[in-house]
């Protein structure tokens, strides 16, 4: 599933080709995503100029002069720029054609993403109750410490809760906990303030580094073939269960937390 760095990489990749462009038409081949694509999306968006492409958590906000398209990539979706009129392949569900002659094409084999329309996107039911962005000053270790008091749930699913902080998905939660030396199985309420301060710093550092390197899946946004991302070469824990720790050499272990595999070092993480 695309995580925050991949979504931010998508935003940065498509924004220069969208902002300032006017939409000529919207072609919807299959409305059956996680929620049905609005039947009047073409009427609402066509003829409008795109004024901004923003991100909130893992949602992309394509802002028109009146209204905003809220897009989510789901588990397998991607957005890329193609020549308008390029024949679609299987699973290529939506084209937003631009007067430039390009089209923003949405592909989603599992159809678990979303394309919704809102006049007030930040107050939309999907976004209104989200926590702070991790790379802002609003998010810090003190917030984690205060919200964790009395919580028996493991610290990893705690920091993956979008009401606590948005965008800390499985890959980056695993890596941040490793870097902070915190066992992902530890009860959130038992982690000390100084350790949460360290964890918040590592979350910010790792997410910023992943964004800078294009996330773990770097895509060519014009054309479209996916290619390996650079950040995956720097992973210390995620996906390395049974391999030696890069720091101490101890065999990394794997646990199941919140239905997700969690890799950790029994020596480095306490």
Catalytic positions: 2-3, 58, 260
Q: Say whether 263 sits in a helix, a strand or coil.
A: strand
Q: How far apart are CA 59 and CA 236, in angstroms?
A: 27
The first and second tokens of residue 162, run together, are: 């979008």
Do residues 108 and 115 touch, judged by C-beta distance below 8 A?
no
**Alpha-carbon torsion (219, 220, 223, 226), positive or negative:** negative
Choose among 130, 127, 6, 2: nearest CA to 70: 127
- Give the H or E element holding residue 157: helix 155-159
Q: Distance between alpha carbon 175 and the CA centroid of its chain, in Å?
A: 15
- 131, 164 Cβ separation under 8 angstroms: yes
Tell which residue, 116, 96, 118, has the closest CA to residue 106.
96
Q: Which helix (H) or strand (E) holds 62?
A: strand 59-64
Helix/strand/coil for 239: coil
Q: What is the dihedral of CA 71, 76, 79, 83, to 10 degrees?
A: -140
Tokens of 218: 């770097």
Residue length of the chain: 270
Ordered alpha helix ranges (H), 19-51: 41-45
Q: State the binding site for DNA.
A: 91, 110, 151
């Amino acid at each position: 599933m695309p995580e925050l760095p991949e979504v931010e990489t998508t935003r940065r990749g498509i924004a220069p080709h969208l902002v300032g462009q006017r939409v000529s038409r919207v072609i919807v081949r299959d409305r059956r995503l996680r929620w049905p694509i609005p039947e009047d999306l073409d009427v609402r968006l066509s003829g409008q100029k795109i004024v901004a492409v923003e991100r909130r958590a893992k949602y992309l906000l394509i802002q028109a002069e009146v209204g905003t398209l809220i897009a989510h990539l789901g588990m397998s979706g991607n957005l890329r720029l193609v020549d308008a009129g390029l024949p679609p392949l299987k699973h290529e569900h939506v084209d937003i054609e631009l007067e430039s002659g390009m089209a923003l094409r949405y592909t989603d084999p599992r159809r678990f993403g979303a394309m919704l329309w809102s006049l007030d996107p930040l107050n939309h039911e999907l976004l209104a109750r989200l926590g702070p962005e991790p790379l802002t000053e609003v998010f810090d270790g003190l917030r984690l410490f205060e919200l964790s008091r009395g919580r028996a749930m493991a610290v990893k699913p705690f920091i993956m809760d979008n009401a606590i902080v948005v965008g800390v998905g499985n890959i980056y939660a695993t890596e941040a906990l490793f870097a902070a030396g915190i066992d992902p199985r530890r009860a959130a309420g038992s982690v000390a303030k100084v350790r949460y301060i360290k964890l918040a710093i590592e979350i910010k550092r790792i997410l910023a580094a992943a964004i800078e390197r294009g996330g773990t899946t770097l895509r060519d946004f014009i054309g479209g073939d996916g290619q390996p991302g650079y950040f995956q070469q720097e992973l210390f824990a995620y996906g390395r269960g049974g391999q030696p720790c890069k720091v101490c050499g101890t065999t990394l272990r794997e646990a199941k937390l919140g239905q997700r595999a969690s890799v950790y070092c029994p020596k480095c993480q306490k």
